[in-house]
Amino acid sequence: MTLTEWTEQLCDALGIDDLEFEGDAILDLARDAAHQIDRPAAPLTTFVVGYAAARRGGKPSDLEDCLDIATELIAEST
């Protein structure tokens, strides 16, 4: 199964039919957290960013803003 197929299947199973996001940006954030903070930081970081974006309204721009904040924080930590 490809990553795209998995994402579509997961969204279908969770009842999400209008998800708009940049998958590569989330994967980049997870990679950076894993390498620059600690490996277990990857899933936790992406979860917290998604949660924060949802609390802000859940629009693609909310996710982009939260990704930018997390990316900057990771960069500052090294």
Give the integer Cα–Cα distance in Å for 25 and 67: 8
pLDDT for the residue 54: 93
| C-alpha distances in Å from residue 10, one per residue of 3, 25, 40, 61, 74 | 10, 18, 22, 22, 28
Diameter of the chain measured on Cα atoms: 38
pLDDT band of 4, cuts 50, 70, 90: confident
At 17-76, the pLDDT tens digits run 887 777 889 999 999 999 999 999 999 999 999 999 999 999 989 999 999 999 999 999
Continuous H helices in 1-78: 3-14, 23-36, 41-56, 60-76
This prediction's pTM: 0.85
